[in-house]
């Protein structure tokens, strides 16, 4: 899990620079917490097919 979170660090750092300095640590913590929740809830038994993945993206965009 640590390696996966580390892979997102460049993006997290970019996002940190878009908020006020006093909010940066809170933002980082919130993003990492969200990643941990998503990782822990990921179901390996049901990996979506490409079509299912695309459908999920379309429904979230609406």
Domain that holds residue 25: 2-61
**Quick one: pLDDT band at residue 61, thresholds 50, 70, 90?**
low
Q: What Cα–Cα distance (Å) separates residue 30 from each residue in 17, 23, 54?
A: 15, 11, 26
Structure confidence by residue, pLDDT tens digits, 25-38: 999 999 999 999 98
Query: Per the structure, how many domains does the chain have?
Result: 1
pLDDT at 60: 63
Eight-state DSSP code of residue 1: -
Q: What is the pTM of this model?
A: 0.68
Distance separating alpha carbons of residues 55 and 48, to the nearest angstrom? 10
Distance separating alpha carbons of residues 35 and 5, to the nearest angstrom? 7
């Amino acid at each position: 899990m640590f390696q996966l979170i580390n892979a997102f660090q460049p993006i997290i750092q970019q996002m940190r620079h878009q908020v006020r300095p006093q909010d940066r640590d809170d933002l980082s913590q919130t993003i990492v917490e969200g990643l941990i929740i998503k990782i822990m809830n990921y179901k390996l038994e049901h990996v979506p097919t490409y079509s299912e993945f695309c459908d999920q993206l379309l429904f979230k965009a609406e």
